Structure 1
């Protein structure tokens, strides 16, 4: 597959712009309320107030689910729009992890762009509210990206990548506990 009409730098810009466009769509569109969204809002709001899960309040979810929404509540205030911004951030993180996995396996840039488009259309685009199943998958994807980098890319940061992978896999286990 020859792509000599585009430089590698231009292809990387296309890859980044594709990811940004898909990530930012939820910021400009009104989406329907998702059933049981109160679980995301209530847990994040309680953590925003300084409460700790399973000490100050109990829910059938792990605390990993509320970390990012609670941070976005601290930054933007406890609004539903803050949950959407948190989801945009999670979607961006999932795309970065997906690209990192493809780069670890040395996938060519044009194929990565197609992979990002398909990933965005089939996965990112349909996740516009934060939900524990999605958050678990994002943590697992990030953990897998760091694990693969730690195993396949030898260097002075291999051990650091493996430790970070362990942290994200831990978070994925303590996100969905139902």
Structure 2
């Protein structure tokens, strides 16, 4: 068992195979399109890691309400088999977060997030806040569920993340 996906055994240093991503992101045409010049992409950059250590273990529940109050749409999602950033813990802090829409968010129905007529996750939304538990995914949701991830991201960017069936489900988030 591994922390990133409790269904799998960890293989390799990062427990996921990033070789295809590395190959793609290091193609000259992709680097040019991204405007990164000759900088080589690596899956786990120590330079990026070191630059972000000051962000570790910050309570984001205190900053996110200000974003929500300002109308910024926020999407929190987690794979159902991720242990290290588990969906239940994420759901708990999202539901407990203090903001003006909290009561309505908590009372909102949980609906299936549907991709190709199949349930790909469970979604709860109110106003600018959406939370999704992604089915059959671990820590790397886009690698585990690429089609669902793409639809989730595209829908959210268009302000329509709640592309789901209208009936609520009994399983709360």
TM-score (norm 1): 0.27
Write 1 or 2 for the structure with the bigger share of strand: 2
Q: Quick one: higher RCO (CA 8 Å, sep 6+), 1 or 2?
A: 1
